Structure 1
Amino acid sequence: MILGVMRISIYIPEAGSLKAKRFVIKSVKDKIKNKFNVSLAEEASDLWQRVELYAACISTDTQHVNSTLENVKNMIDKDPQIEILDYSLELS
């Protein structure tokens, strides 16, 4: 089995409160869960405009894990409310 974990540092420029940040992140997480079979986790932070999002995928095929997580990153990157500051992908 291949486990892929992607960490994405996200900046939400228009979030003026924690409530606004939660609204944007919930929307993104719901879209990802509806389209891809991945697990999502968010690192707790009190910063209004920053969030660390983690996506995990397990498969027997390395190419499937890579493409799924890359598609997740691309979906997040297309959201006009969000800027990706950094991301990393680890396979094991």
Structure 2
Amino acid sequence: MVVGIGLITFRLYDCHSLKAKRKIVKAVVARLQNNFNASVAEVGSNDNLQGAEIGFSLVGNDRQLINSKIDKVFNLAESLGLAEIIDTEMEIFNI
């Protein structure tokens, strides 16, 4: 079994309330979950209105497929245009 995990760090401009941040984060999380059937959640920067960290995980049999899907998750998150991506991290390991 191959497990791939990723972390996307966003910078949110013009976000001056928790409600505005929650709207953006919820939209990104829902889009990634629906398109990739991945486990997605906000995992960091909860008290920072100008930033968000969204983590996700994918499970499969093929390492190359998981790597490709993680790259597609990063590309989709950037193409949404809801926030600027300032950092991405990924790790793939076999169990």
The two structures have a TM-score, normalised by structure 1, of: 0.93
| Structure 2 counterpart SS, 1:9 | strand
Q: Please tell me whether the aligned partners of residues 13 and 81 of structure 1 are also in contact (alpha carbons under 8 angstroms).
A: no
- Root mean square deviation of aligned Cα: 1.0
Corresponding position: 1:64 with 2:65: yes
Aligned to 1:76: 77
Partner secondary structure for residue 81 of structure 2: coil
Deviations 1:12-58 (A, max 9, x none): 11211111000011011111111112111212411101111111000
Contact 2:25 2:42 in 1 (8 A): no
Runs ≥4 residues deviating over 2 A: none
Matches within 5 A, 1:5-84: 5-44=5-44, 45-84=46-85
Structure 2 residues without counterparts, runs of 5 or longer: none
Give the letter for the 1:79 counterpart: L
The answer as to whether partners of 1:40 and 1:54 remain within 8 angstroms in 2 is: yes
CA contact (8 A) 1:58 1:65 kept: yes
Q: What is the TM-score with the length of structure 2 in the denominator?
A: 0.90
